Structure 1
Amino acid sequence: MSTLLLLAPAITWGILPLVVSATGGRPVNEIFGTALGTLIVAVIVDLFLRPTIDTKSFILALVAGAFWIVGQLGQYTGYDAIGVAQTMPISTGLQLVGTSLVGVVIFGEWSTVTAKLIGALGILILIVGVILTSIRDKKDTLSNKGNRGTIIMLVFTTIGFITYNAIPKALSDSGIAIFLPESIGMVLAVLVYLLFTRQGAAFRESASWRNIIGGVVFSVASLTYILSVRENGVNTAFIISQLSVVISTLGGLLILKEKKSRRELFATLGGLILIVGGAVITTFI
Structure 2
Amino acid sequence: MGSILFGLIPALGWGFQGIVMQKVGGNTANKQMGMVLTTLLFGIVIAFIHPINWSGTLVAAAAINGIPWSIAQILQIKSFDYLGVSRAMPLSSGLQLAFTAIIGAFAFNEWPQTWQLILGFGAIALIIVGVALSAWQEKSGDAQSSTSSSDITKGIIITVISSAGFVAYATAARFFSVDSMDLIFPQALFMFISTTVLAFFMCKKLAPRGAGDPVEGVFGKKSWQNMATGVLFAIANITVMFSNQMNGVAVGWTLSQMNVIFSTLGGLFILHEKKTPKEMRFVIAGMVLIAIGGILIGITKTGQ
Does structure 1 residue 95 correspond to structure 2 residue 122?
no
What is the CA-CA distance between 1:51 and the residue it aligns to? 4.4
Amino acid at match of 1:136: Q
Amino acid at match of 1:275: I
What is the CA-CA distance between 1:213 and the residue it aligns to? 2.0
2:290 is aligned, of 247, 261, 275, to 275
Q: Distance in 2 between matches of 1:219 and 1:65?
A: 13
RMSD: 2.6
Match of 1:220 in 2: 235
Match of 1:184 in 2: 189
Superposed CA offset, 1:76-133 (max 9, x none): 1111222111111000001011112222343344345444333322221111000000
Residue 255 of structure 2 contacts residue 294 of structure 2 at CA under 8 Å; is this kept in 1?
A: no
TM-score w.r.t. structure 2 length? 0.83
SS at match of 1:50: coil
CA gap of 1:156–1:250, structure 2 versus 1, over 3 A, is same
Match of 1:158 in 2: 163
CA gap of 1:7–1:283, structure 2 versus 1, over 3 A, is closer
Residue 62 of structure 1 contacts residue 183 of structure 1 at CA under 8 Å; is this kept in 2?
A: no
Percentage of matched positions with identical amino acids: 29
Q: Distance in 2 between matches of 1:250 and 1:25?
A: 22
CA gap of 1:14–1:160, structure 2 versus 1, over 3 A, is same
Does structure 1 residue 205 correspond to structure 2 residue 203?
no
Residue 86 of structure 1 contacts residue 134 of structure 1 at CA under 8 Å; is this kept in 2?
A: yes
Q: Distance in 1 between matches of 2:256 and 2:74?
A: 21
Where does the alignment leave 5 or more consecutive residues of structure 1 unmatched? none
Match of 1:147 in 2: 152
What is the CA-CA distance between 1:270 and the residue it aligns to? 0.8
Residue 70 of structure 1 contacts residue 158 of structure 1 at CA under 8 Å; is this kept in 2?
A: no
Q: Distance in 2 between matches of 1:7 and 1:195?
A: 34
What is the CA-CA distance between 1:41 and the residue it aligns to? 1.3
Where does the alignment leave 5 or more consecutive residues of structure 2 unmatched? 206-213
Q: Distance in 1 between matches of 2:297 and 2:242?
A: 22
Residue 258 of structure 2 contacts residue 294 of structure 2 at CA under 8 Å; is this kept in 1?
A: no
30-39 or 124-133: which moved more? 30-39
Q: How many residues align?
A: 284
TM-score w.r.t. structure 1 length? 0.89
Match of 1:21 in 2: 22
Residue 19 of structure 1 contacts residue 214 of structure 1 at CA under 8 Å; is this kept in 2?
A: yes
Superposed structure 1 runs of 4+ greater than 6 Å apart: none
